């Protein structure tokens, strides 16, 4: 169990540029989540995958955001035409769905995005 | 809709003193509740979780929390603070209704400072 990893850890970009983040979940975890955390706030849910299927997207996820999880393994989160308001920490988490009870989400270190 | 309120955005204690971080939740059904800790520039680490078993939950690093349904609370405590406990703490709830038991709703966090 090597934990959830995210790449890059930090990204500085200019407004209007596209950025892509990668998340590698704990192996064999079938669920993967993306959250966004702004300064002084708790993480906010963006989207989640069960295997390769994206099952829910928050209203926070505008049409400039797209997430994929090909083959149910790693996931990417792309932001097109970045805006200064996109500056935040983007957190990825994964969990193993077992039965009907809730599963524990394990978080990665996050990608801190700064849009200039 | 479920929500989490963490009373006190900043708590300061002396080393060796009792730590008490407050969390109240709002949920239409009995929830699952979590406490996570976040160290600077890192992701979230699970401290403990309540999943409708024992109301007193013991976690890592000497922390524990008690679920009180009548007070809709899930306060986090530690008998004796250590310098290494200085971090930000987040309470989170997972709604068990409507098949949405994957989405965590977080409070705004409480920054714990430990003074020597």
CB B34 within 8 A of CB A102: no
Q: Please judge whether A31 and B105 are an interchain contact, meaning their C-beta atoms are less than 8 angstroms apart.
A: no
pLDDT tops 90 at residue B100? no
Nearest residue to B74 (alpha-carbon basis) of B102, B33, B36, B38 = B33
Q: What would the mean pLDDT of B72-91 be, rounded to a whole number?
A: 96
Mean pLDDT of chain A: 92
Q: Please judge whether A42 and B32 are an interchain contact, meaning their C-beta atoms are less than 8 angstroms apart.
A: no
pLDDT tops 70 at residue A80? yes
The more confidently predicted of residues B94 and A79 is A79
Question: pLDDT for A1-26, tens place per residue?
Answer: 579 999 999 999 999 999 999 999 99
Q: What angle do CA A21, A33, A71 make, to 5 degrees?
A: 75
Residues 6+ positions from B79 with CB-CB distance below 8 Å: B18, B62
Question: pLDDT for A89-109, tens place per residue?
Answer: 999 999 987 766 667 899 999
- How far apart, in whole angstroms, are the C-alpha atoms of residue A19 and residue B22? 37
pLDDT of residue A97: 79
CA distance A77 to chain B (A): 17
Q: What angle do CA B103, A4, A91 make, to 5 degrees?
A: 50
Residues 6+ positions from A90 with CB-CB distance below 8 Å: A6, A21, A34, A35, A36, A37, A77, A110, A111, A112, A113
Nearest residue to B20 (alpha-carbon basis) of B31, B7, B33 = B7
Among the partner residues A6, A104, A109, nearest to B49 by beta-carbon distance: A104
Task: From chain A, pick out residues whose CB is under 8 angstroms from the CB of B44.
Answer: 43, 91, 93, 107
Q: What would the mean pLDDT of A72-93 be, rounded to a whole number?
A: 96
B85 SS3 class: helix
Distance of CA B79 to the CA centre of its chain: 15
Question: pLDDT for A25-51, tens place per residue?
Answer: 999 899 999 999 998 899 999 999 999
Q: Please judge whether A91 and B44 are an interchain contact, meaning their C-beta atoms are less than 8 angstroms apart.
A: yes
The more confidently predicted of residues B97 and A67 is A67
Residues 6+ positions from B71 with CB-CB distance below 8 Å: B24
Q: What would the mean pLDDT of B46-70 be, rounded to a whole number?
A: 91
Nearest residue to A21 (alpha-carbon basis) of A35, A31, A32, A11 = A11
- How far apart, in whole angstroms, are the C-alpha atoms of residue A88 and residue A37? 6
Which residue reads 């540029």 in tokens? A17
pLDDT of residue A72: 84
Question: pLDDT for B11-20, tens place per residue?
Answer: 999 999 999 9
Nearest residue to A102 (alpha-carbon basis) of B6, B76, B30 = B30
Percent of chain B with pLDDT over 70: 92
CA distance B91 to chain A (A): 9
Question: String of b and e for A82-104 (b: at least 16 CB within 10 Å)?
Answer: beeebbbbbbbbbbeeeeeebbb
Task: From chain B, pick out residues whose CB is under 8 angstroms from the CB of A4.
Answer: 43
pLDDT of residue B37: 96
């Amino acid at each position: 169990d090597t934990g959830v990893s995210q790449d890059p850890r930090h990204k500085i970009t200019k407004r209007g540029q596209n950025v892509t983040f990668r998340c590698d979940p704990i192996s064999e975890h079938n669920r993967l989540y993306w959250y966004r955390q702004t300064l002084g706030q708790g993480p906010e849910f963006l989207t989640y995958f069960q295997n390769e299927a994206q099952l829910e997207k928050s209203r926070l996820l505008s049409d400039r955001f797209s997430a994929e999880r090909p083959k149910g393994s790693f996931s990417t989160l792309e932001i097109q035409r970045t805006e200064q308001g996109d500056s935040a920490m983007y957190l990825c988490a994964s969990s193993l769905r077992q039965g009907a009870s809730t599963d524990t989400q394990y978080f990665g270190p996050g990608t801190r995005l700064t849009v200039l | 809709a479920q929500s989490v309120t963490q009373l006190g955005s900043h708590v300061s204690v002396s080393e060796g003193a009792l730590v008490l971080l407050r969390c109240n939740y709002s949920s239409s059904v009995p929830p699952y509740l979590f406490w996570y800790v976040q160290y600077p520039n890192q992701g979230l680490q699970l401290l403990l979780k309540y999943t409708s078993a024992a109301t007193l939950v013991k976690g890592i690093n000497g922390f524990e929390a008690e679920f009180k349904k009548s007070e809709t609370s899930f306060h986090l405590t530690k008998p004796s603070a250590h310098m290494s406990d200085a971090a930000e703490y987040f309470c989170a709830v997972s709604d068990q209704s409507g098949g949405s038991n994957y989405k965590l709703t977080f409070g705004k966090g409480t920054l714990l400072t430990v003074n020597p």
